[in-house]
Structures are given as structure tokens and as C-alpha cells.
Amino acid sequence: MSSSAASKKIPAGVCGILLGMFGVHKFILGYNKEGIITLVVTILGSFLFGLGPTVMGIIGLIEGIMYLVKSDEEFVATYVDGQKGWF
């Protein structure tokens, strides 16, 4: 297990919780496509009664919590080695 890969766990988790609607946690993990999708849904969805930011914020919150509750080994296996982009 790479310590640099495991060191992304806390920043990604905290950013997922606080800035999840902007996809910052996705960019931290190197998931640029997923980060752009999150950002576009937030921006375009803000014109639809605020549904985009609300939905993406909830997804970010859930993902941030999931990142933080996993052990370092599980985190690296799932999100770094396994490249699991969503949930």
C-alpha cells in the first residue's frame, strides 16, 4: 500500500463532506471525469429549483463519510487500486 495514496483519504473525505456538490473530492482522487460530471450537474441543476446542488451535496456527503470510515487498506483497495468512481 502506498502511503501517498492513503494520505488522500482524509482530504478527500473532508472535501466530500464540505464541498461535495463541487466534486472536489473526485478531483483529489484523480477522478476527473466524475468530478466534471458532478460540477456540471451542480451548475446546470441550480437552474432547476436547486435540485442539482442538493443531490450532488448529498452524494458528496455520503461519499465523504464512506471514505473516512474505511481503513487505509480498504480505501486504497477500493478507490485507488480499484478505481471505484461512485459510492
The Cα angle at residue 14 between residues 11 and 19, in degrees rounded to 5: 110
User: What pTM was estimated for this model as a whole?
Assistant: 0.88
Beta-carbon contacts of residue 2 (< 8 Å; ≥ 6 apart): 76, 80
Residue type, 64: G
Mean pLDDT (whole number) for 20-47 = 94
Quote the CA–CA distance of 9 and 2 in Å, as a whole number.
12
Mean pLDDT over each residue of the chain, to the nearest integer: 92
Choose between 58 and 3: higher pLDDT: 58
Residue 47's pLDDT band (cuts 50, 70, 90) = confident
Cβ atoms of 39 and 4 closer than 8 Å: no
Give the model's pLDDT for residue 49. Answer: 80
| % of the chain at pLDDT higher than 70 | 97
The closest of 56, 32, 28 to 42, measured between CA atoms, is: 56
Provide the angle, in degrees to the nearest 10, between the axes of the packed helices 51-69 and 9-19.
150
So where are the chain's domains? 3-78
